[in-house]
Amino acid sequence: MSEDWQQVARDVSALLREGRRQVIAKMAGPMTVDEKTGRKDLVTNIDKSNEQFLIAGIRNMDPTAKVLGEEGFGDKLTSLDGRVWIVDPIDGTMNFVKQHDNFAMMIGIYQDGEGQLGFIYDVMNDVLYAGGPAVGGVWANDQQISAPANLALSEGLIGASAPLVVHDTAHMQKIVHDSAGMRIYGSAGIEMINVLLGKTLGYISYLKPWDIAAGQVMLNFLGVRVSTIDGQPLNMLSSNLVLVATEKAQRDILQIEEDDVSL
Amino acid sequence: MSEDWQQVARDVSALLREGRRQVIAKMAGPMTVDEKTGRKDLVTNIDKSNEQFLIAGIRNMDPTAKVLGEEGFGDKLTSLDGRVWIVDPIDGTMNFVKQHDNFAMMIGIYQDGEGQLGFIYDVMNDVLYAGGPAVGGVWANDQQISAPANLALSEGLIGASAPLVVHDTAHMQKIVHDSAGMRIYGSAGIEMINVLLGKTLGYISYLKPWDIAAGQVMLNFLGVRVSTIDGQPLNMLSSNLVLVATEKAQRDILQIEEDDVSL
């Protein structure tokens, strides 16, 4: 693969734009929807065909790439050594099926465990968010994004997933109470776009590596913290209860977690 | 006022489009944010100026109009007799302040308590949803909207407000569990647009008359049920715990409420 990261970014963007074209064309036809772990965890024929398309494109660009894909068309990874591509062909599959909107295509590129480039494509709005340290910026299509304001928890809205709130996992109800309000958009990719744009100050959810890989690279580059709910680095080969937050809000939320432990 | 409802619809649309132009111009300047009942219940100078602008336009069209406005620039109403205009100048003020997105301008027109015309303006996307029985249809800008599919609760996503879920008011957690998932967008207007478009099958929240007046007219016209959480008609002079739902989902949710009573 070219070590020219600007070129890589252009090639991946072109691959994603062609993937989008195919996804939108297929949405006009019949969709096959299957359950994975349960009735709220769906996969469609389009998730699968898009992952196959994206991974083929990645292997074409980078024949020795290690690829981790949500739907299993990549490799079985046991480490993050070397260059690793992490692919989510349709993030927010429930939204994709029920709304035909509010879903994303995502790719993260890591080198020896360090995030280099992230891509989150808001498919229906046709806005591709892309960037990271390898290219020195983050863009929404052609427009560069500035770092979101470093808001305290009380000053902004927080994204979440519904089960965390219902079960009050990790003091979610206290976190929501202390924030300016909770929003639930149903796609990690769409949630992270909102954080990138400063429309929410954070997001808390159980996430798999492909849900967070792309967002983590861009968010970190813009000064937003991505950690476990305990403030530890994510294990990118496993599930994590992920806390995405501005620096100040991360501190506020970690304090809530700590206060409880000390009771 | 002209009894030509098509003309009324055109005049109100023009009024809202001019209101939008002014709101967007003012968003570039300094915003004054005040708390109403608490730190999560906000009002800005733009809510107030837009309500004054809209009510002046309404009185110009309909000099004998009775007007109910969120920010208090209308009349004190004690009945819905005659023609009543119900105005929400900025619905989703928290989103307006924190996101500069995902808020709406809304007007509902009722005649002797019967909804005639509703208008919900998604300001940042520049899409005006308008219609009702007086004009025989509902449109998104120039495109007519078909009735959303009559989904059962298990078949679709449901919108809600965060406090209902946190406090499990009216069995919200069971309702969310039985649905395909919960979404929280933070604006009654944006939530009702999602129901109109079939992106969610319903919405449950405590609402004031101005939060629901416009949506109720368009939703009812397209066969979506709007009632209290007990299935009763709304009191349009008061707050209600509102259940918006497709016919089938309304039945499913009323059954959940009933099952509990019978315990």
B199–A156 CB contact, under 8 Å: no
B167 touches chain A (CB under 8 A): no
**Residue B40 CB-density burial (10 A; 0-12 exposed, 13-18 middle, 19+ buried):** middle
Contact yes or no for A252/A178 (Cβ under 8 A): yes
Does B183 have pLDDT greater than 70? Answer: yes
Please tell me if residue A199 touches chain B, with a CB cutoff of 8 Å.
Answer: yes
In the predicted model, what is the mean pLDDT of residues A108-126? 98
For chain B, percent helix, then strand, then coil, each to nearest 5?
A: 40, 30, 30
Q: How far apart are CA B27 and CA A87, in angstroms?
A: 38
What pLDDT does A3 receive? 77
Dihedral class, residue B123 (left if φ above 0, else alpha if ψ from -120 to 50, else beta): alpha
CB-nearest to A98 from B98, B173, B180 is: B180
* Contact yes or no for A161/A184 (Cβ under 8 A): yes
Task: Label the pairing between strands B83-91 and B66-69.
Answer: parallel
Query: Could you tell me where the DSSP H helices lie in chain B?
Result: 5-27, 45-61, 93-99, 162-166, 172-178, 188-196, 209-221, 247-261
* Cβ neighbours, 10 Å, residue A12: 22
Confidence tier at A101 by pLDDT (50, 70, 90):
very high
For residue A208, the one-letter residue type is K
User: Residue A174: which H helix or E strand, with range?
Assistant: helix A172-178
The answer to whether the beta carbons of residues B176 and B224 sit under 8 Å apart is no
Residues of the domain holding B157: 153-261
CB under 8 Å to B188, separation ≥6 — which residues?
B91, B92, B104, B203, B205, B207, B211, B212, B215
Is B125 found in the same domain as B11? yes
Write the pLDDT tens digit of every residue in A219-228. 999 999 999 9
Q: How confident is the model at residue B260 (pLDDT cuts 50, 70, 90)?
A: confident
Taking the C-alpha atoms of residue A161 and residue A174, their distance in angstroms, rounded to an integer, is 15
Cα separations (Å) of A200 from A39, A159, A257, B12?
A: 29, 7, 20, 33
The Cα–Cα gap between B35 and A199 comes to 20
Residues 26-55 of B with CB under 8 A from A: 39-40
pLDDT the model gives residue A1:
63
pLDDT band for position B47 (50/70/90)? Answer: very high
Residue A185's closest CA among A111, A115, A103? A103
Q: Are residues B10 and B139 in the same domain?
A: yes
- Tell me if A206 sits within 8 A of A161, measured CB to CB: yes
Instruction: Find all residues with CB under 8 Å of B160, minimum gap 6, and list them.
Output: B172, B176, B182, B183, B184, B203, B204, B205
List pLDDT tens digits, range B72-108: 999 999 999 999 999 999 999 999 999 999 999 999 9
In terms of DSSP bridges, do strands B181-183 and B157-160 run parallel, antiparallel, or are they unpaired? Answer: parallel
Give the model's pLDDT for residue A11.
98
The answer to the question of whether B90 is labelled as a binding residue is yes
The Cα A42–Cα A24 span in angstroms is 18
- Give the mutation candidate from B41, B124, B157 for the A interface (greatest A CB count, under 10 A): B157
Beta carbons of B40 and A98 less than 8 Å apart = no
Which of B120, B144, B168 is the endpoint of a domain?
A: B144
Q: Which residue bears the tokens 């792309």?
A: A214
Residues B12 and B140 in one domain: yes
CA B239 to the chain's CA centroid: 13
Contacts of B29 (CB under 8 A, 6+ apart): none
A91 assigned ligand-binding residue: yes
The total number of structural domains in chain A stands at 2
How high is the pLDDT of residue B261?
63
CB of B118 closer than 8 Å to CB of B104: no
pLDDT score recorded for residue A262: 54
Across chain A, what does the average pLDDT equal? 96
Together in a domain, A184 and A249: yes
Question: Interhelix angle for B45-61 vs B5-27, to 10°?
Answer: 160
Check residue A186 and give left, alpha or beta (phi > 0: left; psi -120 to 50: alpha).
left
Q: Report the gap between the CA of B147 and the closest CA in chain A (Å).
A: 15
Residue B136 sits in the same domain as residue B166 = no
pLDDT digits (tens, 9 = 90+) for B21-44: 999 999 999 999 999 999 999 999
Does residue B21 sit in the same domain as residue B136? yes
Q: Which residues of B touch A100 (CB under 8 A)?
A: 199
Note whether B107 and B94 are within 8 A (CB).
no
Rounded-to-integer distance, Cα B8 and Cα B3, Å = 8
Residue ending a domain, among B125, B144, B163, is B144
Q: What is the pLDDT of residue A5?
A: 96
Distance to chain A for B107, nearest Cα, Å: 25
What mean pLDDT, rounded, does chain B reach?
96
For residue A86, give the CATH number of its domain: 3.30.540.10
Residues A105 and A19 in one domain: yes
Is B70 annotated as belonging to a binding site? yes
**Cβ proximity of A85 and A67 under 8 Å:** yes
Same domain, A129 and A171: no
User: Do A56 and A170 sit in the same domain of this protein?
Assistant: no
Q: Write the CATH number for B223.
A: 3.40.190.80
Residue-wise pLDDT tens digits, A32-84: 999 999 999 999 999 999 999 999 999 999 999 999 999 999 999 999 999 99
pLDDT at B257 over 60: yes
Is there a single domain that holds both residue A70 and residue A30?
yes
- Are the Cβ atoms of A199 and B98 closer than 8 angstroms? yes
CA distance A26 to chain B (A): 19
In this complex, the residue of A98, A99, A180 whose CB is nearest that of residue B94 is A180
Q: How far is A209 from chain B (nearest CA, A)?
A: 22
Classify residue B169 by its DSSP letter. Answer: G
- Asked which of B127, B144, B161 is the last residue of a domain, the reply is B144
What local confidence, expressed as pLDDT, does residue B50 receive?
Answer: 98
Helix (H) or strand (E) holding B227: strand B225-228
CA neighbor of A18 nearest in space, from A145, A146, A105: A105
Tell me if A65 sits within 8 A of A107, measured CB to CB.
no
**Is the same domain home to B253 and B170?**
yes
Q: Find, among B74, B99, B94, B96, the residue nearest to B84 by Cα.
A: B74
ipTM entry: 0.96
Same structural domain, B115 and B172: no
| Rounded Cα–Cα distance for residues B257 and A158 (Å) | 30
Q: Where are the alpha helices (DSSP H) in chain A?
A: 5-27, 45-61, 93-99, 162-166, 172-178, 188-196, 209-221, 247-261
Task: Name the residue among A40, A98, A199 with its Cβ closest to that of B156.
Answer: A98
Judge whether B92 and B47 are in contact, CB under 8 Å.
no
Residue-wise pLDDT for B112-159, tens only, equals 999 999 999 999 999 999 999 999 999 999 999 999 999 999 999 999
